[in-house]
Amino acid sequence: MTSEAPKTRKLNIMVSESLIECLSASAEERGMSISAFVREAVKRECDRTQEQVLAEAAESLAAFYESDRELTAFLSLDGEDFA
């Protein structure tokens, strides 16, 4: 079974010379191209943002969960062996 590589698209951005120098140095230190470095940085930021959104959602639902007896009725059974 072979998996296809994710579809990619070209993105052109304009950045300052100082940012290009920083990107180039950072990518070189890691043995990466500037494109690979930017892709990794963008992915890391997207993942961090998604984790933050999920954490905020969980936090906003925590009070509701704790106050609803139907949702917490079986807490005492959590972790018990069923076999």
- The pLDDT of residue 25 is 97
Can you tell me which residue has the tokens 């990619």?
8
So what's the pLDDT on residue 35?
94
DSSP 45: H
Predicted TM-score (pTM) of this structure: 0.60
Q: How far apart are CA 19 and CA 72, in angstroms?
A: 52
Task: Output the pLDDT for position 81.
Answer: 60
Quick one: pLDDT at residue 62?
Answer: 84
What averages of pLDDT result for each successive group of 10 residues across the chain (83 residues)?
81 95 97 96 93 89 81 70 56
44-58: per-residue pLDDT in tens?
Answer: 999 999 999 999 888
Write out the two tokens for 30: 């890691």
Domain boundaries, the chain: 28-71
